[in-house]
Structure 1
Amino acid sequence: MASYVTACLFVISLVIAVCYAFQRRRRKGEPPLVKHGIPFVGAAFDFGKDPTGYLRQMQRQHGDVFTIKLAGWTQHVFMNPLDVRKLEKSKFLDIKEILRDFVSRMVGDPHRIHAGPRKGQQTSKEDAHGHLIPRLISTNLRGSVPLSQLCSSCGRVVPRALWHAFERKVMRGKPEKFQLHELCKSLIFDVTYNLLFGTLESDDLYKEDTESLYREFYAYHKDSALLVDRIPIHFLPHTKRARNNLFKYLSELDWSKRTDVSSLIGDLVGVNPKLEFLQERTRHLLIILWSAQANTIPALFWCLFYILKNPDAKAAIREELDYTLKSSSTRFETNNNSKGCKTNEDFPSMQIIRSLDKTTIDKLVILDSCVREVMRMTGSSLNLRLAVDDATLQTASGSSYAIRKGDFTMYYAPNTHMDSEIFESPNEFIYDRFISRPGEDATSSMSDCSETSEPERTTALRPKSRFYKQGQRISASQAIMTFGYGKTRCPGRHIAIIEVKMIILSLITYFDVTLASDEKGIPPEAPDFDLRHLGFGVMPPQTDIDVTVASK
């Protein structure tokens, strides 16, 4: 027994010695190297507990650029928001390998999303899909025509999803209690799935189809963050079983029976209709279904939480919608005929929502400011790039740093989002922060809508596009980095925000939704973030909160 213990201790000591012997050494010209007590793991524990606090502590010790080890990856951390444009323009930094590895971990291989030939492999005919699939996604989710079509479809899908979620539970004058995060998950899944993948005409079949896939999807989604953390799916049997069930379900969808299939899914199915590509196509469908909800669900949760907690924000959004509808040339139907959705006298037909188009939604600058403010407060994106060559990167301050091939650069979005020089009082929810009036100082981070008359509010207000750091302008796309930055920002961000806005407008227009207070009548405070999803984008809540919903 003693010899066995001795042998184990010897092996452990040998492993530790090897790890220390081969740990990274700083070379001339490289950023300061942070030393860690545990090899390979590095800063993972400290960063995971308090990412912003840890990075700022390292910034005070080492400056705006430093190197850490994060779960085996060498990360060059950039802390200055002005360096984002430098990272974006660096040609030796690439994201395709990161995305390919991410998709592989989420849905397995083979797939053809950013899947060109790996190092040492020759290009095959099938590798053409590696470039075609991202182009299809970008074209169908970024173009003005596809977005307008999706917005129009969203006006039909959202009321049906709300009817499905509330059904007979929410009657006029009879409030029903719901858990807000669970409600958001149900609504976003329903809207996303039926918006992109098409829907079934029969209400009974629609309900059965949506609920069946919903159960499997969230069994898979529950621990999907562990896959990104490089936990093999074989160690997650429930996740693996759910993923296999999803593959089977998606591969057996009968597209001929589904109406209003989006151009994205239609093109994706059409690009590889042959049987030998069925497995790849199913993986493409699943990663789209997953990525379309990963940020949208928590985004809706936090938007609803902060709007419901801020009566001024809620009133301003409602007033803005009323004025915009009155001044719009769009005809808003008032009949109760609702294709594909049962209605009754106790459930609103939501004809305003059904008639909204993208042009009208784009005019709602107060609602847009609320959503942007939530993105700023809750976005936690880890913007990573992989160095494909040895190179030198010059920062905004004029310093130059050597980056080795195979290293990663990292910019943590809250460095910008919580910078008090860019955003005054960054820890506060200020619903009109992203609004400016003609003649307003462009460097101002705040505006006051409370003293503005209703006509002025809708005609004079404009989205704020100018932010500054050390006297240098930061573009609107780099001021809010929840969906990434540069050309590789999430292509689905536009339709995700449209979904969130449509659901918010539906709930505050047709329902009385309130945060459930405690026994003392005090409304809930913002729950903590669930740090298991750190780096994905919008952070989900660690705990749920109750809301009461009643039809007006």
Structure 2
Amino acid sequence: MEWLCPAACLGLLLPLLLLLLISRLRRCRLPGEPPLDKGLVPWLGHALEFSRDAAKFLSAMKQKHGDIFTIKAAGKFITFLLDPRSYDAVLWESRCKLDFGQYARLLMDRMFDVQLPDYDPNAEKVMLRATLQSKNLPSLTKAMFFNLQTILLSDPSKPSRQWKEGGLFHLAYSTMFRAGYLTLYGNESKNYEDASGQAQDLAHSLEVYNEFYKLDRLLMKAARSMLNAAEKKEFGSTKKNLWKLLSVRSLNHRANRSAWLESYQRHLVDLGVGEDMQTRAMLLQLWSTQSNAGPAVFWLLLFLLKHPLARAAVQGEVEGIFRTRRQTIGQMQMTSQEVLDNTPIFDSVLNETLRLTAAPFISREVLQDMPLRLASGREYILRKGDRLCLFPFISPQMDSEIYEEPEKFKYDRFLNSDGTEKTDFYKEGEKLKYYNMPWGAGINICIGKFYAVNSIKQCVFLLLSHFDLELKDPDAKIPDFDKERYGFGMLQPENDITIRYKLKDQ
């Protein structure tokens, strides 16, 4: 038998590749599959509309096709499921059918140049969960409190009894980011109240924040491979600056390193990751751990400033906490977990804020053709190679069937008439398990939720107890969302809001 020459092999392969390409371009909806909407532009499909305003586009698709449909975007077929009664069928499905790891690895590489061997995000979460919860939570909460005090009360550029003006988003984001960074990555001195250590922590955390903020402006474009030449250059340069600041060698010399940092570094070493890639992974984790809490504090404070009844209710709850602890409002000390767990009014305000402003995608890669049964009893076939995506921002969070006037902020929406937490919400007469999903759900729920909630509460309590805050323009419109942020956690505003603030007269 004679071997085929390379030219003959190429002649046989080209028609096969062409047929494969045509079959992809001509994809049709098969019996049992969700409604298919490919758009009018070859290959691109709905990519431009989707990236321009995902919430608006997907709401229109839901109106057109119902709670489940498949779209084409930049050559990828994505099935969206928007019925919260059916989310369990996705959230708890076996990883051999629906996998998060592939998409996570793609984004890690695109955004942070991180490639980890044998990376398993679920195993990593299991390993790190204990470092942010249970017995480690009190020490994290205590460290965060001291670091928040350093940022808010020890910075000579901030404390003043004279009115100052500044951007609310900048104040919230920089405060939470810098304090959170110091809490997880460590301080200059073991003694939180050492003046020299505080000064160095203030300078170092500000340098990290300023570089990170420049990176943050470009991250969403990087995730979608939409950076132009100038932006790519700036993006690369900023990452290099951050890698120097977060080098493993420099982190190894910091005091008060968290159990989270120690465990994550050991995990990277166990994976056989070298120092350079470890440093890149530290920047990835800096974004993962610090990019959402600051925007959450911004929106919460803005809603309080725009809604006097809500602010009075929260302020009254905070003052009540101080009275029971025999403190004046200006003497706020470390708050216990018991106190932090018993703030129902604040919890309702936070839940309502997150309902309105948290918009992550929950994505899975479909690894094999498989059936998906919905709560309605209908069953659909998912196709191998597609992506399956939940978008809780549309439903349940902004679903008018579940929430009356869902676009409005109502601080007591998550309170019963007796002041307890409200958890009974319904769709089509059925009580919902998933009625608000800012932290995700199922096996991929945010492992840092309890630490994040404690940190947000402490920051807002410190600001309300020590500062007078007011909008420079009481009639200022609540800013629109930066629509690039849909799918990546907390939304950010298109523009900042100017506030006036000063230390309270004690």
Which category describes the TM-score, using the shorter chain as reference length? 0.7 to 0.9
Selected match of 1:282 from 279, 283, 287: 279
Tell me: higher relative CO, structure 1 or 2? Use CA pairs within 8 A at least 6 residues apart: 2
SS for the counterpart of 2:403 is coil
Identity of aligned residues (%): 29
Contiguous gaps of at least 5 residues in structure 1? 1-14, 117-129, 335-347, 439-460
Partners of 2:362 and 2:447 in 1: CA distance = 15
Matching residue's letter, 1:463? E
Selected match of 1:433 from 396, 408, 413: 413
The aligned counterpart of 1:220 is: 215
How far apart are residue 295 of structure 1 and its match? 1.6
The aligned counterpart of 2:198 is: 203
How far apart are residue 168 of structure 1 and its match? 4.3
| Structure-to-structure mapping, 1:129-528, within 5 angstroms | 133-141=124-132, 143-163=133-153, 167-172=156-161, 174-201=162-189, 202-231=197-226, 236-255=232-251, 257-272=253-268, 277-327=274-324, 351-352=331-332, 354-414=333-393, 415-437=395-417, 461-475=419-433, 478-517=434-473, 522-528=474-480
Cα distance 1:133–1:86, how it changes in 2: closer, same or farther (>3 A)? Answer: closer
Q: Which deviations, in whole Å up to 9, do the C-alpha atoms of 1:83-114 show, x marking residues without a partner? A: 212222332222122222222222223325x7
* TM-score, structure 2 normalization: 0.87
Query: Does the Cα contact within 8 Å between 1:170 and 1:549 map onto a contact in 2?
Result: no
Partners of 2:119 and 2:278 in 1: CA distance = 13
Partners of 2:215 and 2:64 in 1: CA distance = 41
Query: Does the Cα contact within 8 Å between 1:152 and 1:358 map onto a contact in 2?
Result: no
Query: Does the Cα contact within 8 Å between 2:169 and 2:497 map onto a contact in 1?
Result: yes
Query: Does the Cα contact within 8 Å between 2:82 and 2:390 map onto a contact in 1?
Result: yes
Query: Does the Cα contact within 8 Å between 2:364 and 2:389 map onto a contact in 1?
Result: yes
How far apart are residue 272 of structure 1 and its match? 4.7
Calculate the aligned-residue CA RMSD, in Å.
Answer: 2.6
SS for the counterpart of 1:194 is helix
1:534 aligns with 2:486: yes
Partners of 1:533 and 1:115 in 2: CA distance = 26
Matching residue's letter, 2:76? W
Q: What is the aligned length?
A: 474
SS for the counterpart of 1:66 is strand
Partners of 2:265 and 2:83 in 1: CA distance = 43
Cα distance 1:276–1:488, how it changes in 2: closer, same or farther (>3 A)? Answer: closer
The aligned counterpart of 1:24 is: 27
SS for the counterpart of 1:40 is coil
How far apart are residue 21 of structure 1 and its match? 7.2
How far apart are residue 314 of structure 1 and its match? 1.3
Partners of 1:276 and 1:434 in 2: CA distance = 45
SS for the counterpart of 1:39 is coil
How far apart are residue 265 of structure 1 and its match? 0.5
How far apart are residue 169 of structure 1 and its match? 4.5
Partners of 2:157 and 2:200 in 1: CA distance = 18
1:57 aligns with 2:60: yes
Partners of 1:431 and 1:301 in 2: CA distance = 15
Partners of 1:295 and 1:464 in 2: CA distance = 24
Partners of 1:85 and 1:271 in 2: CA distance = 30
Query: Does the Cα contact within 8 Å between 1:378 and 1:539 map onto a contact in 2?
Result: yes
Partners of 2:268 and 2:51 in 1: CA distance = 41
SS for the counterpart of 1:480 is coil
Query: Does the Cα contact within 8 Å between 1:47 and 1:54 map onto a contact in 2?
Result: yes
Selected match of 1:33 from 19, 23, 36: 36
Partners of 2:248 and 2:38 in 1: CA distance = 52
Cα distance 1:61–1:241, how it changes in 2: closer, same or farther (>3 A)? Answer: same
Partners of 1:164 and 1:72 in 2: CA distance = 52
Partners of 2:382 and 2:366 in 1: CA distance = 7
Query: Does the Cα contact within 8 Å between 2:152 and 2:159 map onto a contact in 1?
Result: no
Cα distance 1:367–1:230, how it changes in 2: closer, same or farther (>3 A)? Answer: same
Partners of 2:413 and 2:420 in 1: CA distance = 11
How far apart are residue 398 of structure 1 and its match? 1.0
SS for the counterpart of 2:371 is strand
| Between 497-506 and 234-243, the greater mean CA deviation after superposition | 234-243
Partners of 1:19 and 1:370 in 2: CA distance = 52
SS for the counterpart of 1:463 is coil
Partners of 2:150 and 2:348 in 1: CA distance = 27
The aligned counterpart of 2:7 is: none
How far apart are residue 407 of structure 1 and its match? 0.9
Matching residue's letter, 2:284? I
Cα distance 1:50–1:209, how it changes in 2: closer, same or farther (>3 A)? Answer: closer
Partners of 1:164 and 1:273 in 2: CA distance = 37
How far apart are residue 535 of structure 1 and its match? 0.8
SS for the counterpart of 2:37 is coil
Query: Does the Cα contact within 8 Å between 1:30 and 1:402 map onto a contact in 2?
Result: yes
Cα distance 1:484–1:23, how it changes in 2: closer, same or farther (>3 A)? Answer: farther
